[in-house]
Chain A
Amino acid sequence: MSHPSTALRIRVNGADHDVSAEPDTPLLYVLRNELSLNGPKFGCGLGQCGACTVHIDGAPRRSCVTAVSAAAGKDVVTLEGLGTPERPHPLQQAFIDEQAAQCGYCINGMIMRASALLAKTPRPSRDDILSAMDANLCRCGTHMRIVRAIERAAAGGAAGPAGREG
Chain B
Amino acid sequence: MNTSSACTQSRREFLADAGVLLVGFTLFPRGARAGSLGAVPGTSAAPSADALDSWLVIGRDESVTVYAGKVELGTGVSTSLRQIVAEELDVAPARIAWVQGDSQLTVDQGRTVGSGSVKRGGAQLRRAAAEARQALLEMAASKLGVPATQLAINDGVVSVTGDAARSLTFGTLVGGGRFERTVSGRAPVKAPSAYKVVGHPVPRVEIPAKVTGKHVYVHDVRLSRMVHGRVVRPPRVGATLDSFDEQSAAKLPGVIRVVRKGTFVGVVAEREEQAVRAAKALTAKWSATTVLPDAADLYARFKSLATAERVVGEAGDAAAALRSAARPVRATYRWPFQLHASIGPSCAVADVRRDGATVYSATQGAHQLVAPIAALLGMSSDNVRVVFTEGSGCYGHNGADDVAADAALLSQAVGRPVRVQWSREDENGWEPEGPAMLFEMAGAVGADGKISAWTYDAWTPTHGARPTRDPASLVAGALVGGSASTAEFFSGGGERNARTTYVLPNERVVSHPVPSFPIRTSSLRGLGSPQNSFANESFMDELAVAAGVDAIELRRRHLSDARALAVIEAAAKRSGWTPRTSIRERGGAASNGIRKGRGFAYVQYDRTEAYVAAVVDVDVRPDTGLVRVRRVCVAHDCGLIVNPDGLRNQIEGNVVQAISRTLKEAVRFDSTRVTGVDWNGYPILRFSAIPDAIDVDLIDHPDQPSVGAGEAATSPIPAAIANAIFDATGARVRQVPFTPDRVREALRASKV
Q: Does A45 contact B211, Cβ atoms closer than 8 Å?
A: no
Number of interface residues of A (CB under 8 A): 64
Q: Does A99 contact B272, Cβ atoms closer than 8 Å?
A: no
A residues near B421, Cβ cutoff 8 Å? 42
Q: What's the Cα separation between A96 and B687 when bound, in Å?
A: 20
Q: What's the Cα separation between A103 and B393 when bound, in Å?
A: 5
Number of interface residues of B (CB under 8 A): 67
Question: Please, what's the 1-or-0 string for B60-73, where 1 marks a CB less than 8 Å from any CB in chain A?
Answer: 00000000000001
Q: Does A84 contact B343, Cβ atoms closer than 8 Å?
A: no
Question: Please, what's the 1-or-0 string for A133-163, where 1 marks a CB less than 8 Å from any CB in chain B?
Answer: 1101111111111110000000000000000
A43-B212 in contact given A2-B269, A48-B680, A102-B74 (Cβ < 8 Å): no
A39-B212 in contact given A130-B687, A139-B341, A143-B687 (Cβ < 8 Å): yes
B residues near A26, Cβ cutoff 8 Å? 273
Q: Does B690 contact A130, Cβ atoms closer than 8 Å?
A: yes
A residues near B344, Cβ cutoff 8 Å? 41-43, 51, 105
Q: What's the Cα separation between A133 and B688 when bound, in Å?
A: 8
Q: What's the Cα separation between A85 and B208 when bound, in Å?
A: 5
Q: Which B654-703 residues have a C-beta within 8 angstroms of A?
A: 654-657, 660, 678-680, 684-688, 690-691, 693-694
- Identify the closest chain A residue to B679 (Cβ): A48
A95-B272 in contact given A48-B678, A102-B76 (Cβ < 8 Å): no
CB of A92 closer than 8 Å to a CB of B? yes
CB of B254 closer than 8 Å to a CB of A? yes
CB of A65 closer than 8 Å to a CB of B? no
Q: How far is the CB of B497 from chain A (nearest CB, A)?
A: 20
Q: Does B212 contact A92, Cβ atoms closer than 8 Å?
A: yes
A residues near B215, Cβ cutoff 8 Å? 38, 104
A residues near B216, Cβ cutoff 8 Å? 38
Question: Please, what's the 1-or-0 string for B410-453, where 1 marks a CB less than 8 Å from any CB in chain A?
Answer: 00000000000101100000000000000000000000000000
A78-B213 in contact given A43-B344, A130-B688, A143-B690 (Cβ < 8 Å): yes
Q: Does A105 contact B686, Cβ atoms closer than 8 Å?
A: no
- Identify the closest chain A residue to B23 (Cβ): A36
Question: Please, what's the 1-or-0 string for A29-51, where 1 marks a CB less than 8 Å from any CB in chain B?
Answer: 10011001111111111101101
B residues near A36, Cβ cutoff 8 Å? 24, 222
A43-B424 in contact given A2-B254, A101-B211, A102-B393 (Cβ < 8 Å): yes
A139-B212 in contact given A29-B273, A42-B344, A43-B424 (Cβ < 8 Å): no
The listed residue with most A CB atoms (<10 A of its CB), out of B214, B342, B645, B653, is B653
Q: Which A5-58 residues have a C-beta within 8 angstroms of B?
A: 21-22, 25-26, 29, 32-33, 36-46, 48-49, 51
B residues near A76, Cβ cutoff 8 Å? none
- Identify the closest chain B residue to A42 (Cβ): B421
B residues near A48, Cβ cutoff 8 Å? 424, 678-680
A147-B687 in contact given A103-B390, A138-B343 (Cβ < 8 Å): yes
B residues near A85, Cβ cutoff 8 Å? 208-209, 212, 214
Q: Which of A38, A43, A88 is B208 in contact with, Cβ under 8 Å? A: A88
CB of B621 closer than 8 Å to a CB of A? no
- Identify the closest chain A residue to B272 (Cβ): A29
Q: Which of A21, A100, A134 is B686 in contact with, Cβ under 8 Å? A: A134
Q: Does B656 contact A143, Cβ atoms closer than 8 Å?
A: yes
B residues near A22, Cβ cutoff 8 Å? 253, 273
Q: Does B217 contact A44, Cβ atoms closer than 8 Å?
A: no
Q: Which B187-227 residues have a C-beta within 8 angstroms of A?
A: 203-204, 206-217, 219-220, 222
B residues near A71, Cβ cutoff 8 Å? none
Q: Does B392 contact A33, Cβ atoms closer than 8 Å?
A: no
Q: How far is the CB of B80 from chain A (nearest CB, A)?
A: 13
- Identify the closest chain B residue to A88 (Cβ): B212
A44-B207 in contact given A33-B271, A38-B213 (Cβ < 8 Å): no
Q: Does A101 contact B207, Cβ atoms closer than 8 Å?
A: yes
B residues near A96, Cβ cutoff 8 Å? 203, 207-208, 211
Q: Does B679 contact A49, Cβ atoms closer than 8 Å?
A: yes
Q: Does A103 contact B208, Cβ atoms closer than 8 Å?
A: no
B residues near A100, Cβ cutoff 8 Å? 211
Q: What's the Cα separation between A58 and B688 when bound, in Å?
A: 24
CB of A116 closer than 8 Å to a CB of B? no
B residues near A45, Cβ cutoff 8 Å? 276, 423-424
Q: Does B343 contact A142, Cβ atoms closer than 8 Å?
A: no
A residues near B342, Cβ cutoff 8 Å? 103, 105, 139
A residues near B10, Cβ cutoff 8 Å? none
A41-B219 in contact given A130-B688, A139-B341, A142-B652 (Cβ < 8 Å): yes
Q: Does A99 contact B214, Cβ atoms closer than 8 Å?
A: no
CB of A118 closer than 8 Å to a CB of B? no
A137-B213 in contact given A2-B269, A2-B274, A142-B652 (Cβ < 8 Å): no
A1-B211 in contact given A139-B342, A140-B653, A143-B690 (Cβ < 8 Å): no
Q: What's the Cα separation between A143 and B658 when bound, in Å?
A: 13
A141-B687 in contact given A45-B424, A48-B679 (Cβ < 8 Å): no
Q: Does B222 contact A105, Cβ atoms closer than 8 Å?
A: no
Q: Which of A95, A129, A144 is B652 in contact with, Cβ under 8 Å? A: A144
Q: What's the Cα separation between A26 and B276 when bound, in Å?
A: 11
CB of B485 closer than 8 Å to a CB of A? no
- Identify the closest chain A residue to B73 (Cβ): A103
Q: Does B270 contact A44, Cβ atoms closer than 8 Å?
A: no
CB of B101 closer than 8 Å to a CB of A? no
CB of B106 closer than 8 Å to a CB of A? no
Q: How far is the CB of B715 from chain A (nearest CB, A)?
A: 14
Q: How far is the CB of A114 from chain B (nearest CB, A)?
A: 11
Q: Does A144 contact B341, Cβ atoms closer than 8 Å?
A: no
Q: What's the Cα separation between A157 and B271 when bound, in Å?
A: 42
CB of A108 closer than 8 Å to a CB of B? yes
CB of B75 closer than 8 Å to a CB of A? yes
Q: Does A136 contact B203, Cβ atoms closer than 8 Å?
A: no
Q: Does A37 contact B345, Cβ atoms closer than 8 Å?
A: no
Q: Does A99 contact B204, Cβ atoms closer than 8 Å?
A: yes
Q: What's the Cα separation between A89 and B138 when bound, in Å?
A: 47
B residues near A99, Cβ cutoff 8 Å? 203-204, 207, 645-646, 649
Q: How far is the CB of B563 from chain A (nearest CB, A)?
A: 25
A residues near B220, Cβ cutoff 8 Å? 32, 38
- Identify the closest chain A residue to B657 (Cβ): A141
Q: How far is the CB of B210 from chain A (nearest CB, A)?
A: 3
Q: What's the Cα separation between A31 and B288 when bound, in Å?
A: 39
Q: How far is the CB of B66 from chain A (nearest CB, A)?
A: 21
Q: Does B208 contact A105, Cβ atoms closer than 8 Å?
A: no
Q: Does A131 contact B424, Cβ atoms closer than 8 Å?
A: no
CB of B395 closer than 8 Å to a CB of A? yes
A residues near B424, Cβ cutoff 8 Å? 43-46, 48
Q: Does B392 contact A105, Cβ atoms closer than 8 Å?
A: yes
Q: Which of A1, A42, A44, A145 is B649 in contact with, Cβ under 8 Å? A: A145
Q: How far is the CB of B233 from chain A (nearest CB, A)?
A: 16
Q: Does B214 contact A29, Cβ atoms closer than 8 Å?
A: no
Q: Does A79 contact B207, Cβ atoms closer than 8 Å?
A: no
Q: Which of B269, B687, B693 is A136 in contact with, Cβ under 8 Å? A: B687
Chain B positions near chain A (C-beta within 8 angstroms): 24, 73-76, 203-204, 206-217, 219-220, 222, 253-254, 269-274, 276, 341-345, 390-393, 395, 421, 423-424, 645-646, 649-650, 652-657, 660, 678-680, 684-688, 690-691, 693-694
Interface pairs (30), CB distance under 8 Å: A2-B253, A2-B274, A21-B273, A36-B24, A37-B213, A38-B217, A39-B213, A42-B345, A43-B343, A45-B424, A46-B424, A79-B212, A84-B212, A85-B209, A88-B208, A99-B204, A99-B649, A101-B207, A103-B73, A104-B74, A105-B393, A111-B211, A134-B687, A138-B343, A142-B649, A144-B691, A145-B649, A145-B652, A146-B687, A147-B690
Inter-chain pairs besides A102-B393, A103-B342, A137-B343, 14 sampled, C-beta below 8 Å: A21-B271, A25-B273, A32-B272, A43-B344, A49-B679, A80-B214, A85-B209, A99-B203, A100-B211, A103-B392, A105-B342, A107-B210, A130-B688, A140-B653
The 9 lowest CB-CB distance pairs between A and B, nearest first, are A39-B213, A103-B74, A141-B656, A103-B393, A2-B254, A104-B210, A141-B653, A105-B392, A79-B213
